[in-house]
Amino acid sequence: MTATTGAGAGAVGPRAASASGITDTTAPPDAPAVGEAARRAAERSVQHLLARQDAEGWWKGDLETNVTMDAEDLLLREFLGIRDEATTEAAARYIRGEQRDDGTWATFHGGPGELSATVEAYVALRLAGDPPDAPHMARAAAWIRQRGGMAEARVFTRIWLALFGWWKWQDLPELPPELIYLPHWFPLNIYDFGQWARQTIVPLTIVSAKRPVRPAPFALDELHADPRRPAPPRALAPATTWEGLFQRLDRALHAYRRVAPRSLRRAAMNAAARWIVERQENDGCWGGIQPPAVYSLIALRLLGYDLGHPVMRAGLESLDRFAVWREDGSRMIEACQSPVWDTCLATIALADAGLPPDHPALVKAADWMLAEQVVRPGDWAVRRPHLPPGGWAFEFHNDTYPDIDDTAEVILALRRVRHPDPDRVDAAIERGARWTLGMQCRDGAWGAFDADNTSPFPNRLPFCDFGEVVDPPSADVTAHVVEMLAHEGRSHDPRTRRGIAWLLDEQEPSGSWFGRWGVNHVYGTGSVVPALTAAGLPLTHPAIRRAVAWLQSVQNDDGGWGEDLRSYRDEAWVGRGASTASQTAWALLALLAAGEGDTPCVERGVRWLVDTQREDGSWDEPHFTGTGFPWDFSINYHLYRQVFPLTALGRYVHGEPSFGKEG
C-alpha cells in the first residue's frame, strides 16, 4: 500500500536545464550526458502523467492482484442468483489468460503456482462452462490433486466451496457471531483484528452461523486427492503449544454451537448486521475494498435483505466499480482502488520534476485531496476516543478507515503546491498532522490504520490462515510519518524523536529495513533513508552508511534494482530480483537522500531508468512491487511504474525539493 516519497537533507545530483529554466553549474564534469538524458526522460514522463489526470484532479492506476478476486466475484453472483453470461465470459477470459503452462495460477507475476488460487480459478471456469476434460482444466485438476486436493486449500477458499455444498461446514473452523459482544479490552474482540480482517470477519460470523448451501451446478470430485476421504482428519498439536491451544478452542466453539441459546445467537447476528450496515460507505462499498463488500452482501442476504433493498442495491452497484474492462473484452476485478494514494504520489512526482508549484494540474489535485479529508470518527476512535479526526483514506469513499500512510503522504504533497487559498491548506494539514501524531503507538512507531493493533492472538486462530490479520507498526509507514513531521518543522518534537529511535532499532543487520507495504527491503530502505536525513541525521551516520552499502551491494548488473516477493519467505531473495522501474526508483531516492548523487552507482541506476523508458514517457512493469499481506497477497500498482521513476529522475536533476519549513 505504501510508498516512499521524501528527499532527505543533503540529497544531491547532477542538475541540467529543466522545463522550469533552473540550471546548476556545480555538476561534476562527467554529469552532463546522463543529466541531460535524465532531464529529457523526466520531461517525457511529466507529459505522460499530466495526460492521465482526471478532469476532477485525481489520478488512479489499475490495482492488479490475482484471479481469486475474479473467481469470488463470479461465485458471489452465482450464490445471489444474478450471474449473467456476458459478465461470466468476460471474467473467464481474464482468468484463462492468467493460467500458467503447468495449469496453475500464481498470486504474483513470475511466482509459483498457488493451490487456493488455482482451486478458485478452476471452479470459476467450471461456472463459465469449461469442461473438466479440457486440456487446461485437466492440467489444473491434476496439479490440485497432487498438492492434496481442495482439502489443503485455505479456509477462505473452503468457505466458498461450502456455500455450494462442495465442502462440509462442520469441517471448517467455527466463527461465532457472539464475537461482536466481546468488550474492547477482551482478547480476540473484533478491534483486535486489523481493519481489513475486521470488516471481513464480522459478516463471516453470520455466514458461519447460518451455514447456507446453494445447490451446486456440478460436482467437483476431480479436485479431491482421495474422493473416499475428502476431508482427512488433521493432527491435533500438543496442548502446550499455541497451535494446540487454539485448535482446542475451535473444538470448544464447535461444541458451543450445539448449545448456543437461539435468542442470544439471533441477537448477535442482528448486532453484527447493524455493525455492517453502519459502516457502509456513501458509494455502497465497505471500507473501499472488495472482500468485505462480498461477504457483507452474503451475510445480509442470509438475514433476509432482498436484492432490491437500498443497502444491497448500493453494495452490488459498488462491486461493478471494481471491474476493469480491457480492450480484449476481458474483465479484471480490483481488490480496491487507490485514487488518494496515486494522486498524492503523482503530485509529489510532478512537483519534484520541476512543474511549477502553482501549475493548474497541481492546484486541481490539491483541491481534490483537500475535499477528501476525513472529518468524522471511524473505527480508529475505539482506541483513540478523544482524538479529533483529520486523516485521509486510500480510496474514493472510505470515511471509516483513514490511514496514517496516506495522511502523511498527502500532507507532503500539499506542501508541494502553491495553492490560492493557503489558509485552507494550512488548516487541513494541521488537522492531518494532529491526527497522525495522535495515532502513534506505545513503542513510538506507527501502524497503518489503528494504534496499538498488535494482539498476538488473532493470527493464531485456525480461521485466520490467509495473511496478516493485525496491523502492527512498520518501518515504511513510520518513515513516511517522520518525514512528514520533519518537513512540518517537528523534527525535534519528542514524538518524532521516538519514531526515529524506533526506526534505528529496526534496521536489519544487513543495513536494510523490512518493507511491510511494498516489496520489500528495497522498499523499506527507500522509505527510511529519506525520512532520517530529512529529520536531520547526518549523512555520515552509521545507519545511513550501512543502508547505502547494502543498496550498492544489491544493485543488479544492468544498473537497476529489483526484489522478488519470495524475499518475504526466503532470505536468499532479499534485495534480489529482476530490475523494475519502481524498485530502481526507491533505491535511487534513498541514495540521493544519502548524498550519493554523483556516484557511479546512482548514475547507472539513472541510466537504467532512461534506457528502459518507453517512447510515450512511461515504463513497463509486470512485476508486483506492492504488498497487501507479505507473501500472501501481492499487488501490482500500475501507477507505481510512472510516479516513482519520475520522482527519482526529478530529484536527480533538480536536487532536494523545498518545503518552506525549517526542521
DSSP-derived 3-state class of residue 473: coil
pLDDT in tens, 120-167: 999 999 999 999 999 999 999 999 999 999 999 999 999 999 999 999
pLDDT in tens, 37-87: 999 999 999 999 999 999 999 999 999 999 999 999 999 999 999 999 999
Q: Is 405 a catalytic residue?
A: yes
Specify if 16 maps to a domain: no
Catalytic residue among 192, 352, 405, 471: 405
251 and 288 part of one domain: yes
Residue where a domain stops, chosen among 300, 333, 366 = 333
316 and 370 part of one domain: no
Domain span holding position 85: 66-333
CATH of the domain at 586: 1.50.10.20
Residue where a domain stops, chosen among 314, 333, 352 = 333
Residues sharing a CB contact under 8 Å with residue 591, sequence separation 6 or more, in sequence order? 529, 548, 551, 597, 599, 601, 602, 605
416 and 293 part of one domain: no
Residues sharing a CB contact under 8 Å with residue 308, sequence separation 6 or more, in sequence order? none
Specify if 14 maps to a domain: no
Q: Angle at which helices 640-654 and 600-612 pack, to 10 degrees? A: 130
Q: How many CB atoms lie under 10 A from the CB of residue 214?
A: 13
249 and 305 part of one domain: yes
401 and 439 part of one domain: yes
342 and 329 part of one domain: no
Mean pLDDT throughout 349-360? 97
pLDDT of the residue at 661: 44
Binning pLDDT at 50, 70 and 90, where does residue 292 land? Answer: very high
Q: Look up the pTM and report it.
A: 0.93
pLDDT in tens, 370-381: 999 999 999 999
**Residue % of the chain over a pLDDT of 70:** 94
What total of structural domains would you count in the chain?
A: 2
611 and 487 part of one domain: yes
Question: What amino acid is encoded at 275 in this protein?
Answer: W
133 and 185 part of one domain: yes
486, 478 contact by CB (below 8 A) = no
Specify if 290 maps to a domain: yes
Specify if 660 maps to a domain: no
Q: Which candidate, 133, 659, 137, 90, places its Cα nearest to that of 418?
A: 659
pLDDT above 50 for 663: no
Specify if 416 maps to a domain: yes
Mean pLDDT throughout 514-533? 97
Residue where a domain stops, chosen among 333, 357, 374 = 333
Specify if 259 maps to a domain: yes
Q: List, as one string, the DSSP characters of 274-309.
A: HHHHHTB-TTS-BTTBHHHHHHHHHHHHHTT--TTS
283 and 296 part of one domain: yes
Specify if 373 maps to a domain: yes
353 and 277 part of one domain: no
